[in-house]
Amino acid sequence: MNRAAGKGVTVMDSHQARARAEASFKKEERAREGAKAMMEYEAEVRATQEKTARLRALRLAKEAADKVSSPLKSRANKSAR
């Protein structure tokens, strides 16, 4: 940085200003990318939780149906003998 004619004011040359602007832009870009990645991660977590809940409900329904039909099958097998 250059000092302007002894007044104690700091003047930034164009090279430094450009470097600062680029650094600021990169920082903002990283923040945007981080937010986007977090949103994608959260969406994947929600999708996994929903899928797990759906599969669990299907499994429990199948187990309940098997439990109900199991005694009927064993009775049918005994009477067929």
Q: pLDDT by residue (tens digit) across 32-80?
A: 999 999 999 999 999 999 999 999 999 999 999 999 887 766 666 666 5
Q: Residue 65 domain-assigned?
A: yes
Asked whether residue 31 is domain-assigned, the answer is yes
pLDDT at 76: 61
Q: Is residue 71 part of a domain?
A: yes
Number of domains forming the structure of the chain: 1
Task: Give the contacts of 1 (CB within 8 A, at least 6 positions apart).
Answer: 10, 11, 12, 13, 16
Task: Decide if 26 is inside a domain.
Answer: yes
Q: Is residue 28 part of a domain?
A: yes
Residue 25 lies in a domain: yes
Find the domain containing 27 and state its range.
21-80
In a domain, 74, yes or no: yes
